[in-house]
Amino acid sequence: MNQQELNGKISQIKDRLTAIEQPLPNRVYLSCESENCYSVNKFLFEEVPARFVIATGIDAEDCFEIIYHYSYDQTGCVINLKVFIRDREKPAVESITPFLPAAEWIEREIHDILGIDFINHPNLRRLILADDWPDGVYPMRKEVKK
């Protein structure tokens, strides 16, 4: 699949996306709301299929963002899927670990640092915070100072 065919493939799911941007030929940024997170990720991993790289959790002040980064190695394209979680009180999104074991650690990490709940995650134990770290303090939230 070349880059044009890849773009065509991605546009199959455009009804589930709120934005598609392509600042460079091999850098694609997709946006979607949290209810479509699972199905769009499943499409990227199983249908494209792209290689999962990592996810970045961001406290964007008015909402939480998780950017799922995928790499489509045949064209060297990085597909970044931005998922917006609007509920700041009880942020939650469906886990993608059940079909993508590579996401297990990063979902646990984002749970640690931002307090986002991953629904149906098989093992949402602490990954990087110390055992004596207080509950309910999420170090990468903006209100936590250095």
Partner 1 sequence: MKKSVKKPVLAVGPFHPLQEEMEFFQLTIEGEIVTDIDVRLSYNHRGIEKISEGLQFDQIPFLVSRICGICSASHPLAYVQAVEEIAGVKPPERALYVRTIINEFERIHSHLLWAGLAGHFIGYDTVFMWAWKYREPVLDLLEEITGNRNNYGNVRIGGCREDIPNELIPKILKELDEIEKKTEMLTKAILDDPVLHARLKGVGVLKKEDAIKYAVAGPTARGSGIAIDVRRDDPYAAYADLDWNVITQPEGDVFAKAVVRLLETFESIKMVRQALKKLPGGPVSVEVKEIPPGEAIGRAEAPRGETFHYVRSDGGNRPVRHKARAPSYVNVPSFKASCIGQHISDVTLTLAAVDPCYSCTERMAVLDSGGKVIADYDMLLRLSREKTEHIRKSLGLPKKKMEDLPIG
What per-residue string of b and e applies to 6-24 under the rule 16 or more CB within 10 Å gives b?
Answer: bbebbeebeeebeeeeeee
Instruction: Determine which residue in the list 101, 119, 120, 122 makes contact with partner 1, applying CB under 8 A.
Output: 101
Instruction: Determine which residue in the list 34, 104, 107, 116 makes contact with partner 1, applying CB under 8 A.
Output: 104
Residue 36 CB neighbours (<10 A): 18
- Residue 111 has phi, psi (to 5 degrees) of -60, -40
d(CA 55, CA 68): 4
Nearer to partner 1, 14 or 126 (CB): 126
Instruction: Determine which residue in the list 7, 63, 80, 98 makes contact with partner 1, applying CB under 8 A.
Output: 80
Interaction mask 112-131, partner 1, x per CB under 8 A: xx-------------xxxx-
Nearer to partner 1, 24 or 62 (CB): 24
Site for partner 1 in 5-34 (CB under 8 A): 24, 26-27
